[in-house]
Structure 1
């Protein structure tokens, strides 16, 4: 899992990307090994060789560090989904691939980096900004696919675009939302194909 930061996040003092990246790398490793709840800012300071006060120059809290790591986790899922839909031309196939890759990428994070996945689950529970932004970007992708399908005549045009995208996101949400995925594991083999087919039938003009 990549540890490259995706946005500046809350910061105090001079912006020093090298130090911030060191903190994120150390935090990612500690969270991966011990979990978010069991890791303190003091633990991170000791691992990096800085004082706790110095870390607070760059991050206002442990949650601010967790937010950035969570954003990185969710960005990887989003990148996988974007790559999958960009690989095909027709909107219906884009939608099928979006369902399929969203589940596959989320499961990969769930099983390979479970403790980091738990941060994303916490973010979803507490509605951190990273989780809200992720949902907004996924819905924007859906709107774009729907818009293309309407332009090609493959999707119906009566339902307001934002309403249609919102409804489809609710269908996908049990497999996209880190908090809900753990309760949907028994259906991940068949759900992407079945749900995307159902949605596509509802979109027929």
Structure 2
């Protein structure tokens, strides 16, 4: 497994300050209309009616604002996956649902708004903190499913858990990473069932 990631997103000011929510809301709207790359902190300042210096009291950079938006999107995907997994009774079905729901949620969020998709692409390409945390949590879910499957006798026990976790994550990654997903869109319908079946056969005791 990867080392736990603890460094925070670069935000400033009181954590519960309403101004931060205003800035994020304005940024989301601007990014949706004009794109992440074309929007500047000055643009956001004009939209909210604040000075650029005031915005910098709450966020260190445009990327820090993008991190918050990206983290929100990734948290939505994670929540959908986790809910689907928890509703399944046995480990093999949990893994199948993880593949299926993960792909569906990623497609819906990353392709619903092409402008906001730019943030996800920038985040993935730049290995932003929000992306690293998301990857760590997804791998954590895989580990939990593997360990449960081993306890119930559904999965083999010879392969080191961390090795099996990373292998399964790498199989899923083309459909979770926005930079890779855009190149695998044509296979997204069939991939969850086919890949999860292949993985489950490899995990058979």
State the TM-score bracket (shorter-chain normalisation).
Answer: over 0.9
Would the alpha carbon gap of residues 154 and 132 (structure 1) be closer, same or farther in structure 2, given more than 3 Å must change? same
Output aligned runs, 1:1-205, within 5 Å.
Answer: 9-205=9-205
Distance apart, 1:11 and its partner CA: 2.6
Distance apart, 1:14 and its partner CA: 4.4
The SS at the match of 2:58 is coil
Distance apart, 1:60 and its partner CA: 0.6
The SS at the match of 1:88 is coil
Pick 1 or 2: higher relative contact order, CA cutoff 8 A, min separation 6.
2
CA contact (8 A) 2:9 2:129 kept: no
TM-score normalised to structure 1 length = 0.94
- Structure 1: gaps (5+ residues): 1-7
Would the alpha carbon gap of residues 15 and 153 (structure 1) be closer, same or farther in structure 2, given more than 3 Å must change? closer
Q: Deviations over 1:118-154 (max 9, x none)?
A: 2111111111111111111000000000010000000
Distance apart, 1:100 and its partner CA: 0.2
Would the alpha carbon gap of residues 50 and 165 (structure 1) be closer, same or farther in structure 2, given more than 3 Å must change? same
The SS at the match of 2:104 is helix
Equivalents in 2 of 1:101, 1:193: separation in Å?
11
The SS at the match of 1:85 is helix
CA contact (8 A) 2:110 2:120 kept: no
Equivalents in 1 of 2:133, 2:14: separation in Å?
26
Would the alpha carbon gap of residues 129 and 9 (structure 1) be closer, same or farther in structure 2, given more than 3 Å must change? closer
Equivalents in 2 of 1:16, 1:49: separation in Å?
20
Distance apart, 1:9 and its partner CA: 3.1
Equivalents in 2 of 1:135, 1:127: separation in Å?
10
TM-score normalised to structure 2 length = 0.94
RMSD value over aligned CA atoms? Answer: 1.4
Equivalents in 2 of 1:81, 1:16: separation in Å?
28
Equivalents in 1 of 2:108, 2:170: separation in Å?
21
Aligned length in residues: 199
Equivalents in 1 of 2:58, 2:204: separation in Å?
51
